[in-house]
Structure 1
Amino acid sequence: MAEEARIDVKTLLQKAAGDLSAPELHDLARSAESGPWFGTPGVRSGEPARPPDYEWPLVSEHPYMGKYGKGTASVHLGNGHDRLVNPMIFADGFNYGPSDLDTLWQWFNMPYSDAGERLFDQLLAAGIDIVLLGFDSRHDYIQVNAGVARACIGKVIAERHGNTPLITGGVSMGGQVTRYALAAMEHDDEDHQTETYLSWDSPHNGAWIPLILQQMAYFFEFFEALTPGKAGKASLIRSPAAQQLLWAWVADARYSGPIASASPLRAQFVREMADLGGFPQRPVRLGVANGRGDGQGPALPPGEIVFDKKFLGGLVGSATARYQPAFGAEQPIGGMHLGLTARSSTTTAVAPFDGAPGGMLDSFGQVATALGIELEEAKRWSCFVPSVSAVALDFDPMTWEVDLEQDLREVSAEHTMLNEFCCNATNIEHSVVTPMLAEWVLRKIAK
């Protein structure tokens, strides 16, 4: 049995040097702008989104923890269609607050090739009706939003003309939401009429946000006077969705202990998913990964310092972050100091996730920008959804006893829960559309 992965935090009281006035502390805390850290990508293009042909408000009929999820579906009819004929439901992913379906459309319809090809435009041209599925609260329990997905599937079936089977899936967490929804419908003997399931860089076995950065979100949020009702830096990290999706999670900046079982919400979600059979069994299960499949991760040396910032010469505060070290005992990952409070953190038996092949998120970059730290572009990014997770490789999602750099090109069907998958040629930004992934998806579903 492998040693349990854990984090340990030491808290020190710093002796004040010089005149630490309240305004200095206030200015530093305010430099870390309020609002949730670690959101997934937005749109870089100023082009407007294609207006939907119509929209549906959705309300779940299947509560979870006493909560009924709500959401919206925006329907874009395929070329030549005046009604819903050949529907593809595509669910929004991990972030804080309500979905912005215009942004989701723009993201997946940005030109991905020198010829200006756009994935959603190509799907519409192939006669596929795109139903974008959004949620009123993306950061809520996956099971709550899975109820919204079930409502969307039912609405699509009711509104569809003819009997063309559905394509159902989503990006990032949206792939998990629809995976759960379809499996739950099968469990309840409810006909989802879905022939193809499609996930786009979905963290089937879990995702990764550096532990030291999670701690910084909690730590610097503590010193900021938050407006009541306004989300803070750690709001996304402490959300049910983050606790369910992240393999390694900490509850606050002082937490010491195991990281894979720190939240009971993740263990419960993994258990419930397994009780439903892991995946829906009736559809063909397809998936794409924004990371490489040959085992080559980005060149991010384990344990190397990413940034080491001292504010006002270290009198007021500091922030140090390292790439996740490769296993070992009590390996330093960084620390933070503000006013009289300082903390330093180490991890034990944790794999070097930051440099794993996978879809990338600018986690270090987001924190550096918020703290007013200049950081070169190459250091802003690290792995968010490891390729071994996006392709649903068959391993225990709680213990993660898996080689992050496994060559996936020769993986046989019995070692993955997907029927087919495609990895990108490079480790690129999470959920971005690339020629390799777009062309593979078009071959599989635009028949």
Structure 2
Amino acid sequence: MKKCTICIAILLFVNLCLSQTQNEIPEPDIDEMLFDALGRDEVSPVFLYERTTPIANLNNFNTENYNTASKAFFEQALQELYKASKSKKFISYKEARNYYFSSLTTKSQVKIGLLNATLYSINYDDINEENGAFEFKESRFIRINNKPSYTKKDVLVIAPLLTYAVGNSVTFSFENDLWFEDSENPIQSLSVDFGNGNSKVVYQNSRINTENLSVDYNTSGYKTIEFTATLKDGVKKTTFGQLHIKLPQASEALRNDPLVESVTNFVSTIPFQGYDETSPIYGELEYRIFYHTNNGNTQRRLLKPIIIIDGFDPEDKRKIHDSDSPRPAEEHTSIEEFMIYYDSQGVKQDLIEVLRSQGYDVILVNQPTYTRGTKTIDGGADYIERNARNHVSLYNHLNITLLANGSSEKLVIVGPSMGGQISRYALAYMEKNNIPHNTRLWVSIDSPHLGANIPIGIQSMINLLDAFGDSAAANDFYYNQLKSTAAEQQLIEQHKIGHLPDYLNGGSPVYQQYYSNLESNGLPGSDGYPQNLRKVAIVNGSLEGKKVGVEGEEDFRVHGFVDQLWWDVKVAEMNTKYMPEYGQNERVARLWRLFKPLRTASYKNNNQNGSLDVIPGRAKSYF
């Protein structure tokens, strides 16, 4: 059994002129392309798979090795069925989220979604057309024999609409608003087994049992839920759903050091009004103090703080410790884990413990997601200026604590990545406003003081997969990460929604506003850098000027296939390239799909610094 090999893992990574000619071509009407080849009595199917891009590979779902659905799979499947019906049946995955996203803050309550549909596909073989019913020429299907025009598949997808749940007891529920069915073989009854051997009937006599179903768990891990449906034709069909359960006791046991103190909901005393906001908002952060362990210390007493700040983290997926995250440890890299390194002898070391043993109180700071009224603020991708004001309040608080504890020590502040931007802005702000920061050392680690870069080819491909590939994951990545506030503040080259023209070579108004604010912050003549302390910068680059690739070189290519009866059909191909050399024009993203127009993105590089995708990094004498 082959699964669709279309790879959307690209989505988990992180004046130029875009050619729009091919992308202005509207998506073709597959039914119109088929019209002349069909018999007079043939009716166009409700769900025709060629109307969308088959990322979920639904034609092969409900088979022995491909029959388990997660929340992400359910959303992609729903989106494909919605588009396969010309948006006439079901609803989009974004509309569906309105019925379960409000409950996602409660990690022990899980709603279950169901899809049951009859899905048709055109009987076509792109390698040997004689295997199918049609040949395809000049964007039209031509019948070549009397074989059936379509293949048919009854698809049943049922999934918990939460990926990571936390609790000893988890409550599941079915709801009418999340039950999507339009099938020639409808469900007559449905039972569910949550893995405890007890089967519960949740649908019978055209009625959904919407009562809450409480399930107790005594171990953490991925849990498989078994669903058995009896269909109209009398056949019983079994499919599975999956989510991860994390026991709170197991999580809490990971953090039992009496010299560790957690502080959440630390609210700033200085508000900030964002560029698109109507009123100032007081920001929020959270932190954890690992008190010093030298000289047999047993007290939570702040004496010698070193502050380490988290960087860019949309949706706050990176927590301070694994126990803070609903994700399993193997799928979560905590801020603490970034403190692990190997010394010159190859021995694994924990920087936090090394610093504690030397008398430092280590403070890890996270920018969480929080709410103000009806507004949700994604702290890990929020305005850098607001996060900086949060840190001004934190540094004031820590200095007051040091004074109360009789310590004469000054702060040491370490800012990796965007954390360097936040701390730079905070410290310079304090100097500008005559607020003593009492800091002796500021360390900036690989922070984008002149702007950040994500290859425009990658940005363009994600947009193409969203706009023309019906990819739910691409849409989420594009809007939640690439179009997050902090990303728009820092990215030099920015793919713009609508494309014409893209914000490239530092052309984004948000980018320009942020760096103007940054460089005008602080003391006169400082370019926004703090002055009254020692400064150290560590940069990931090449001192020898060695490039990390070749301008215009292809850096990503994937081909996608699905099974069609006994043959494979190539349904998609995508590739991206680095930005070309200065003055050169190059196609940097290409998305090909079967029966659909080619979608591309091309750019002329007018950046005199060259292709940002391959440059080794530059030096500037600020430090």
* Structure 2 residue 622 is matched with structure 1 residue 417: yes
Q: Which has the higher strand share?
A: 2
* 1:122 counterpart residue number: 354
Q: CA deviation at 1:314?
A: 9.2
Q: C-alpha deviations, 1:46-69, integer Å up to 9, x for none?
A: xx6885710223112222222322
Equivalent residue for 1:155, pick from 393, 397, 410: 397
306 and 314 in structure 1: CA distance in 2 versus 1, 3 angstrom threshold = farther
226 and 341 in structure 1: CA distance in 2 versus 1, 3 angstrom threshold = same
Q: CA deviation at 1:296?
A: 2.0
Q: CA deviation at 1:146?
A: 0.8
Q: CA deviation at 1:75?
A: 0.5
128 and 256 in structure 1: CA distance in 2 versus 1, 3 angstrom threshold = same
The percent of aligned pairs where both chains have the same amino acid is 22
Q: CA deviation at 1:169?
A: 2.9
* Structure 2 residue 320 is matched with structure 1 residue 101: yes
Identify unmatched segments of 5+ residues in structure 2: 1-14, 35-46, 59-71, 77-253, 274-279, 322-333, 369-378, 562-567
Q: CA deviation at 1:290?
A: 2.5
Which amino acid is the alignment partner of residue 309 of structure 2?
A
- Give distance in 2, aligned partners of 1:96 and 1:112: 31
Q: CA deviation at 1:315?
A: 6.9
TM-score, normalization: structure 2?
0.51
What secondary structure is seen at the aligned counterpart in 2 of 1:27? coil
Summarize the alignment of residues 289-438 of structure 1 with structure 2, pairs less than 5 Å apart.
289-298=539-548, 300-312=549-561, 316-337=571-592, 339-340=596-597, 342-350=599-607, 351-357=610-616, 386=617, 388=618, 393-394=619-620, 416-418=621-623
Which amino acid is the alignment partner of residue 25 of structure 1?
T
Cα contact 2:440–2:534 (8 A) shared by 1 = yes
320 and 16 in structure 1: CA distance in 2 versus 1, 3 angstrom threshold = farther
What secondary structure is seen at the aligned counterpart in 1 of 2:348? coil
Cα contact 1:5–1:348 (8 A) shared by 2 = yes
* Structure 2 residue 531 is matched with structure 1 residue 281: yes
Which amino acid is the alignment partner of residue 91 of structure 1?
I
Summarize the alignment of residues 28-43 of structure 1 with structure 2, pairs less than 5 Å apart.
28=55
Q: CA deviation at 1:353?
A: 2.1
What secondary structure is seen at the aligned counterpart in 1 of 2:314? coil
Q: CA deviation at 1:337?
A: 4.2
Q: CA deviation at 1:140?
A: 0.7
What secondary structure is seen at the aligned counterpart in 2 of 1:271? helix
Cα contact 1:183–1:281 (8 A) shared by 2 = yes
Deviates more, 1:331-340 or 1:150-159: 331-340
Summarize the alignment of residues 13-162 of structure 1 with structure 2, pairs less than 5 Å apart.
13=25, 21-22=48-49, 25-28=52-55, 53-57=260-264, 58-65=266-273, 66-80=280-294, 81=297, 82=299, 83-98=301-316, 99-102=318-321, 103-113=334-344, 114-136=346-368, 137-160=379-402, 161=405, 162=407
Identify unmatched segments of 5+ residues in structure 1: 36-47, 358-385, 395-415, 419-447
Cα contact 1:8–1:255 (8 A) shared by 2 = no
Cα contact 1:49–1:105 (8 A) shared by 2 = no
199 and 6 in structure 1: CA distance in 2 versus 1, 3 angstrom threshold = farther
What secondary structure is seen at the aligned counterpart in 2 of 1:308? strand
Deviates more, 1:11-20 or 1:99-108: 11-20
Which amino acid is the alignment partner of residue 152 of structure 1?
L
224 and 62 in structure 1: CA distance in 2 versus 1, 3 angstrom threshold = farther
Q: CA deviation at 1:118?
A: 3.2
What secondary structure is seen at the aligned counterpart in 2 of 1:94? coil
Cα contact 2:293–2:356 (8 A) shared by 1 = yes
Q: CA deviation at 1:85?
A: 0.8
- Give distance in 2, aligned partners of 1:258 and 1:348: 12
Q: CA deviation at 1:175?
A: 0.6
Q: CA deviation at 1:5?
A: 4.3
What secondary structure is seen at the aligned counterpart in 2 of 1:269? helix
86 and 303 in structure 1: CA distance in 2 versus 1, 3 angstrom threshold = same
- Give distance in 2, aligned partners of 1:60 and 1:294: 43
6 and 108 in structure 1: CA distance in 2 versus 1, 3 angstrom threshold = farther
Q: CA deviation at 1:233?
A: 4.1
- Give distance in 2, aligned partners of 1:30 and 1:314: 12
Which amino acid is the alignment partner of residue 600 of structure 2?
R
6 and 314 in structure 1: CA distance in 2 versus 1, 3 angstrom threshold = farther
Which amino acid is the alignment partner of residue 62 of structure 1?
I
Cα contact 1:332–1:346 (8 A) shared by 2 = yes
Deviates more, 1:238-247 or 1:65-74: 65-74
Deviates more, 1:343-352 or 1:20-29: 20-29
Deviates more, 1:268-277 or 1:24-33: 24-33
26 and 56 in structure 1: CA distance in 2 versus 1, 3 angstrom threshold = same
Cα contact 1:308–1:321 (8 A) shared by 2 = yes
What secondary structure is seen at the aligned counterpart in 1 of 2:287? strand
Cα contact 1:150–1:181 (8 A) shared by 2 = yes
Q: Which has the larger radius of gyration?
A: 2
What secondary structure is seen at the aligned counterpart in 1 of 2:574? strand
What secondary structure is seen at the aligned counterpart in 1 of 2:512? helix
30 and 244 in structure 1: CA distance in 2 versus 1, 3 angstrom threshold = farther
Q: CA deviation at 1:24?
A: 7.4
- Give distance in 2, aligned partners of 1:62 and 1:234: 28
Q: CA deviation at 1:336?
A: 2.5
- Give distance in 1, aligned partners of 2:269 and 2:289: 21
What secondary structure is seen at the aligned counterpart in 1 of 2:550? coil
* 1:266 counterpart residue number: 511
Summarize the alignment of residues 179-258 of structure 1 with structure 2, pairs less than 5 Å apart.
179-222=424-467, 223-224=469-470, 231-252=476-497, 254-258=499-503
What secondary structure is seen at the aligned counterpart in 1 of 2:436? coil
- Give distance in 2, aligned partners of 1:100 and 1:232: 19
Q: CA deviation at 1:119?
A: 2.6
Question: CA RMSD of the aligned region, Å?
Answer: 3.3
120 and 265 in structure 1: CA distance in 2 versus 1, 3 angstrom threshold = same
What secondary structure is seen at the aligned counterpart in 2 of 1:144? helix
- Give distance in 2, aligned partners of 1:417 and 1:253: 37
Aligned length: 348
Which amino acid is the alignment partner of residue 622 of structure 2?
M
Deviates more, 1:67-76 or 1:346-355: 346-355
5 and 345 in structure 1: CA distance in 2 versus 1, 3 angstrom threshold = closer
What secondary structure is seen at the aligned counterpart in 1 of 2:434? coil
- Give distance in 2, aligned partners of 1:280 and 1:30: 54
What secondary structure is seen at the aligned counterpart in 1 of 2:489? helix
- Give distance in 2, aligned partners of 1:195 and 1:154: 15
TM-score, normalization: structure 1?
0.69
Q: C-alpha deviations, 1:169-216, integer Å up to 9, x for none?
A: 311000100100111111111111111111111111111100011122
